[in-house]
Amino acid sequence: MGATQVNVMNWSGRVALITGAGSGIGRSTAQEFAALGAKVAILDRDEGAGSETLEAILRAGGEAIFLPTDVTSEDSVAASVAETVSRFGRLDAAYNNAGISPDTGTTVDCSRERWDQIFAVNVTGVWLCMKHEIEAMLKTGGGAIMNTGSVSSLRAAPQLPAYVASKHALIGLTKVTALEYAKQNIRVNIICPGVIETPMLAKKAAEGFFSIDQYVQSSVPMNRAGRPDEIASAVIWACSEAASYLTGATLSVDGGMVIA
Ligand SMILES: NC(=O)c1ccc[n+]([C@@H]2O[C@H](COP(=O)([O-])OP(=O)(O)OC[C@H]3O[C@@H](n4cnc5c(N)ncnc54)[C@H](O)[C@@H]3O)[C@@H](O)[C@H]2O)c1
């Protein structure tokens, strides 16, 4: 049998949707997809941030649209998926990345309001996105979805009860959805980033939650934080034909954090 011609790098003619693409990992993934030729739908609730990602992609010669979206609203998600398909004709890859990690305190200190807010974005938001993305993908023969977990999908961290619970929940949701649509050519996986240099990480450090240097030295075997593009490249691979047999998988991209 000869070698197959699997091209991870050529996304021309294909369409990728990324939530939380106004910042950090989502922005980097949107830029990388566009640089590889994909038509990109940038979804974010922050209009200024989403517009900046759009401008950066257009300046670099890529093709993209920005759709202001709140992933906690089904109407908003449905409208943005529909607009993506209306503008670009199809949906091949979706990266459900929007997530929040506001301060909560311990399990006892965490307020009901904060708990609900974190679950609304991190869990309900991903479910709503998949619900509408899958409907769109089924119309053109399939697609690939990547959800965003965290090392907090796999282990505990004090003072983060709602975040850790929400990211664990996404592993279960990803597995169920992967199982349900495996026969219909829709692959669903979850990526679990470690310590990645983004505005979210900088905010937690600024709030005094941890010192990034100390956190990295004590918990990352590779002894450095990751870059957003190091998550983006794993997402793009997992959504490509090169990963055609990958579904229901939990992919740790964390410099060795969960094995330590
Ligand atoms: N940075 C890390 O170290 C790290 C580690 C593990 C997992 N993650 C996960 O990666 C994802 C991205 O994190 P990041 O560090 O790039 O964060 P970030 O805060 O830099 O970016 C998150 C983006 O999501 C958007 N967003 C938030 N709520 C939204 C909503 N309701 N609707 C639409 N957009 C919304 C924000 O406006 C923002 O642009 C998150 O799910 C996060 O939990 C990050």
Number of domains comprising the chain? 1
CA distance 95 to 224: 25
Determine the pLDDT at residue 4.
59
Position 207 in a domain: yes
CA distance 230 to 24: 11
Handedness of CA 159, 45, 56, 12 (dihedral sign): positive
CATH code for position 29: 3.40.50.720
Determine the pLDDT at residue 5.
60
64 CA distance to ligand 1 centroid (A)?
Answer: 20
26 CA distance to ligand 1 centroid (A)?
Answer: 7
Determine the pLDDT at residue 119.
98
Q: Which residues participate in catalysis according to the annotation?
A: 163
Position 256 in a domain: no
CA distance 54 to 30: 9
Q: Report the nearest-CA residue for atom 18 of ligand 1.
A: 200
Task: Round to the nearest angstrom and report the end-to-end CA distance of the chain.
Answer: 40
Position 10 in a domain: no
Q: Which two tokens stand for residue 194?
A: 């470690």
In this structure, the dihedral spanned by the alpha carbons of residues 129, 161, 154 and 175, taken in order and rounded to 10 degrees, is -30
78 CA distance to ligand 1 centroid (A)?
Answer: 20
Position 204 in a domain: yes
Please calculate the CA angle 55-204-125 and round it to the nearest 5 degrees: 60
Position 3 in a domain: no
Determine the pLDDT at residue 258.
97
From the CB of 101, is ligand 1 less than 6 Å away? yes
Structural domain that includes position 121: 15-251
DSSP string covering 68-86: E--TT-HHHHHHHHHHHHH
Position 241 in a domain: yes
Determine the pLDDT at residue 209.
84
Position 257 in a domain: no
> Of 14, 12, 83, 9, which Cα lies nearest the Cα of 43?
83
Position 59 in a domain: yes
Q: Report the nearest-CA residue for atom 34 of ligand 1.
A: 44
pLDDT per 10-residue tile (average), the chain, 260 residues:
66 98 98 98 98 98 99 99 98 98 96 98 99 98 98 96 98 98 98 97 90 95 98 98 97 97
